[in-house]
């Protein structure tokens, strides 16, 4: 893996309150100075044990050659107001203007172009990834492994599974190889096409083909239809704004006869501030949408849709943070 080069960062420090008050001078802010990607992760660590997937992934993009170092939790608290009032939707609106205001179509375009290339690298096996991308790959895989672990010991032959937002097949493929009848879909034709190629490569390499071949389709989440024993939707909710999450959960619930498994980036004050900081320095290949969701809101929506949470896990790495819920129909 290539070394991560250092980049220019703006350091924000807490005001020297007592000295400046006595001298009646504004707090001094040091000039920009070199800082490595590690500085950005250190700043995130000062706020929480680990960085949020949506937040630090946004802050620490190296594709744009920009990093951000923040001098401690007190500094973040001091600039929180400024970050909140700064318009976070400018780039989103710019992208949406290309699709006549259709946000879903804007997301589709992203994941079929620069987004597809970026996330195929993250979810793949190439060494051409930076520190952040590798960490996200490892974090995502940990979440996938937990889902597979929950299925371990169960006879999956003939079990119908809908993997909505399958990406490049990190979950859909092992479930299919375990014998499940998998319907894997993604809004990106490029991503789901890669998933199908990877599955076929596994079979060509000697893996046993399931009795029912998996179906790979380029479909938006709301376009998925049918009834399944299990519905999974991993690391997709981050692309859904708050006002669309309930509808998303209701639709997923309508597809499931028995079990629903979802993951999301939980919303806390620290993660919200970090995400907002990251939006000030967007990389050209980074998704411009990264939505955090309060766990109680997600659970309430699941309850309203007829499901109860039976198991929950947290996956945390340096740049990835995800809450995983296993739910059963009441």
Q: Across the 330 residues of the chain, what is the mean pLDDT of every consecutive 10-residue run?
A: 36 37 45 34 34 39 34 45 46 56 66 67 76 89 97 94 96 98 94 94 97 96 97 93 93 98 86 60 52 94 98 90 96
Distance (Å) of CA 258 to CA 173, 231, 252:
21, 8, 12
- Residues contacting 129, CB < 8 A, separation 6+: 1, 121, 122, 137
Can you give the pLDDT at residue 15?
A: 36
Contact predicate 60/319, CB 8 Å: yes
Global pTM?
A: 0.69
CB 187 within 8 A of CB 108: yes
pLDDT at position 237 = 93
> Domain spanning 78-329 has what CATH number?
3.40.50.150
Q: How high is the pLDDT of residue 94? A: 56
- Interval 291-327: pLDDT, tens: 899 999 999 999 999 999 999 999 988 878 899 999 9
For residue 211, the model assigns a pLDDT of 96
Cα(27)–Cα(256) distance, integer angstroms: 57
- Count Cβ atoms below 10 Å from residue 150 Cβ, excluding itself: 17
Domain ranges of the chain: 78-329
CA distance 312 to 185: 24
Q: What is the pLDDT of residue 201?
A: 97
Looking at residue 124, what is its pLDDT?
72
């Amino acid at each position: 893996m290539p070394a991560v080069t250092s980049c220019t960062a703006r350091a924000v420090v807490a005001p020297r309150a007592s000295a400046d008050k006595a001298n009646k001078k504004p707090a001094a802010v040091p000039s920009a100075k070199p800082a490595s990607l590690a500085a950005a992760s250190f700043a995130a660590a000062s706020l929480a044990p680990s960085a949020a997937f949506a937040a630090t992934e946004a802050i620490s993009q190296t594709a744009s050659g920009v990093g951000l170092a923040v001098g401690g939790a007190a500094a973040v608290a001091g600039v929180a107001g400024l970050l909140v009032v700064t318009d976070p939707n400018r780039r989103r609106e710019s992208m949406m203007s290309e699709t006549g205001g259709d946000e879903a179509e804007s997301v589709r375009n992203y994941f079929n172009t620069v987004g597809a290339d970026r996330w195929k690298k993250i979810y793949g096996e190439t060494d051409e990834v930076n520190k952040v991308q590798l960490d996200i790959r490892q974090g995502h895989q940990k979440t996938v492994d937990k889902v597979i672990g929950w299925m371990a010991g169960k006879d999956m032959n003939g079990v119908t599974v809908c993997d909505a937002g399958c990406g490049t097949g990190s979950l859909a493929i092992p479930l299919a190889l375990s014998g499940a009848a998998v319907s894997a879909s993604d809004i990106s034709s490029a991503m789901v096409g890669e998933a199908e190629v990877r599955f076929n490569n596994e079979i060509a390499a000697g893996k046993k083909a399931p009795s029912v071949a998996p179906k790979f389709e380029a479909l938006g989440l709301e376009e998925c239809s049918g009834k399944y024993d299990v519905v999974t939707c991993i690391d997709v909710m981050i692309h859904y704004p708050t006002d669309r999450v309930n509808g998303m959960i209701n639709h997923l619930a309508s597809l499931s006869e028995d079990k629903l498994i979802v993951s999301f980036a939980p919303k806390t004050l620290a993660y919200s501030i970090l995400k907002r900081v990251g939006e000030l320095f967007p990389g050209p290949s980074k998704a411009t949408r990264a939505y955090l969701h309060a766990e109680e809101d997600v659970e309430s929506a699941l309850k309203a849709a007829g499901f109860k949470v039976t198991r929950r896990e947290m996956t945390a790495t340096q740049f990835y943070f995800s809450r995983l819920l296993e739910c059963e129909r009441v």
